[in-house]
Structure formats: structure tokens, C-alpha cells
């Protein structure tokens, strides 16, 4: 199982690692990585590996077998050998924008308190699909409420609960289509705000900014009807 260093510090841009395996598809598995593997609507990280004067670009990162995280090269090239100690570096600007969009989408689920049926995160924008039979009455009011939450600069933190505690509190799960991973004994919760200022708490394995103020200015884009009960709300970073 790969040690997920991004869980310990989502702001780490570089780290050392040791190659423990190559996959049949040409991927690289390290003993520990700062690269986030695609999941929960958040794309896999990109960046580079550096060793012995060599550099290999990483196009994306995916989940492998038995808890492994697999770094996928951008193109066929000589790979660092198994046992090699190397330096890994993130495409930080891309990752940081994912973090900003991801946290903004958590807040979007606060100002639109409806069940979420899907979602996607990008570097420029993200979207949530809601179980929303009727159209939004006032998109501008939603935008204002969301920006006000962001501007409160609320802290974003994490904690852990057991699988049993999650099962006893089903209201924590906002997503209808994707259930949080269970079976390993505990589930990570992402909290926005503290004590009386807490505005959101939900299971999530992705990376987030440390405070909502880092999100910056946003705007809501199209609200698209995707079915009888499904509407897609698009969110854009303004800078």
C-alpha cells in the first residue's frame, strides 16, 4: 500500500520516494507519494520524477491494486528502476486549482442543500449535479451566498470516524451516486468552519485548501437540465 503523503500535507510540492513496482501498463508505484490518485470527481495529479540526472513527466495518477497509487508517464520513456530513490514534484499550479475548486464545490452543496447525484473537478471550473426537480429560482442569490461563505475565510480541517459511526450517521453523505470508501475501518471527514461557525461536514478523500478565502472569486455558470430530476450547476474560478 502506498503511503499517501498528500493526506498529511496537501501543500507539499516535492518529496522523496522509492520505486517499489512497475505495473504491466507502464505505471510506477512509489512507497510514498504526494500525487493524488483520480477519484471522487477529482483528477489525478501530474508532475515529474527526478533521479540520477533523469526526468520523467507524469501525466496523471490512478488507483492500483491493494491500495497502490500508480503514476502514469506522459509518454513511453526509460523508467526509474525498482529500488531507486527519487524526487517527485507536482504540477503545483494545477493541483492547487483543483483544491480551490473542490472546496468551493463543498460550499456549493451548502448553499444548495439538495442531494448530489454527481460531480467533477477541473483546474478552471467544476460542477455538481443535484437532485433538483425545479429550476433554481435565483442563481444570483446563490452566487452571492456562496461568495459570502468563501469570504468568511473559514478554516478547512479533517477528522476520522469509524465505518460504524458513518453507518449510524447517514446524513453526512451528500452524494447519491458515489459512496465514501468503507471497509478499512475508518472514513475521513472534511470539515469547513469550527464549532458554531461550522457550515459543512462530509466524507471526502480529496485535497482541499486550508481556508475558504483561498478559493477567491467565483461565478456560477450554466445550470443545465440533465433529466427529469437532475440539474447540473457549473462553477468557475475567476482567477
Per residue in 188-217, pLDDT (tens digit) is: 899 999 988 999 999 899 999 999 999 999
Q: Is 69 exposed, middle or buried (0-12, 13-18, 19+ CB in 10 A)?
A: buried
> Residue 112 and residue 122: Cα distance in Å, rounded?
20
Other beta carbons within 10 Å of 151: 13
DSSP 208: -
> Residue 124 and residue 235: Cα distance in Å, rounded?
9
> Residue 186 and residue 167: Cα distance in Å, rounded?
11
CA 50 to chain CA centroid, Å, is 25
> Residue 95 and residue 225: Cα distance in Å, rounded?
29
Residues 6+ apart with CB under 8 A from 226: 129, 232
Other beta carbons within 10 Å of 91: 18
C-alpha grid cell, residue 86: 527519487
Extended strands (E) in 23-83: 28-30, 32-33, 47-51, 54-63, 69-73
Low-confidence ranges of the chain (pLDDT < 50): 176-177
Other beta carbons within 10 Å of 55: 12
Mean pLDDT across the chain, nearest whole number?
92
> At which residue does the C-alpha cell 497502490 appear?
68
> Residue 140 and residue 131: Cα distance in Å, rounded?
20
> Residue 181 and residue 66: Cα distance in Å, rounded?
14
CA dihedral 229, 199, 38, 35 (to 10 degrees): 170
Q: Three-class SS of residue 151? A: helix
Extended strands (E) in 112-199: 116-121, 125-131, 156-162, 186-192
Identify the bridge partners of residue 161 per DSSP, sorted by sequence position.
187
CA dihedral 55, 61, 64, 69 (to 10 degrees): 70
Amino acid at each position: 500500500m502506498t503511503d499517501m503523503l498528500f493526506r498529511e500535507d496537501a501543500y507539499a510540492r516535492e518529496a522523496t520516494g522509492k520505486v517499489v513496482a512497475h505495473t504491466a501498463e507502464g505505471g510506477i508505484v512509489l512507497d510514498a507519494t504526494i500525487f493524488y490518485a483520480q477519484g471522487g470527481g477529482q483528477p489525478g495529479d501530474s508532475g515529474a520524477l527526478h533521479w540520477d540526472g533523469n526526468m520523467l513527466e507524469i501525466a496523471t495518477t490512478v488507483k492500483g491494486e491493494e491500495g497502490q497509487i500508480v503514476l502514469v508517464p506522459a509518454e513511453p520513456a526509460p523508467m526509474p528502476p525498482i529500488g531507486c530513490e527519487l524526487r517527485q514534484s507536482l504540477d503545483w499550479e494545477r493541483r492547487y486549482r483543483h483544491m480551490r475548486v473542490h472546496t468551493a464545490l463543498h460550499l456549493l452543496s451548502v448553499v444548495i442543500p439538495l442531494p448530489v447525484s454527481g460531480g467533477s473537478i477541473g483546474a478552471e471550473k467544476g460542477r455538481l449535479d443535484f437532485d433538483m426537480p425545479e429550476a433554481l429560482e435565483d442563481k444570483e442569490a446563490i452566487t452571492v451566498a456562496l461568495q459570502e461563505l468563501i469570504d468568511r475565510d473559514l478554516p478547512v480541517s479533517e477528522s476520522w470516524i469509524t465505518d460504524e459511526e458513518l453507518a449510524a450517521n447517514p446524513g453526512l453523505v451528500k452524494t447519491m451516486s458515489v459512496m465514501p470508501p468503507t471497509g478499512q475501518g475508518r472514513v475521513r471527514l472534511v470539515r469547513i468552519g469550527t464549532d458554531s461557525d461550522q457550515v459543512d461536514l462530509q466524507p471526502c478523500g480529496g485535497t482541499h485548501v486550508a481556508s475558504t478565502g483561498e478559493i477567491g472569486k467565483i461565478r456560477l455558470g450554466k445550470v443545465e437540465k440533465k433529466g427529469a430530476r437532475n440539474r447540473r450547476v457549473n462553477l468557475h474560478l475567476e482567477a
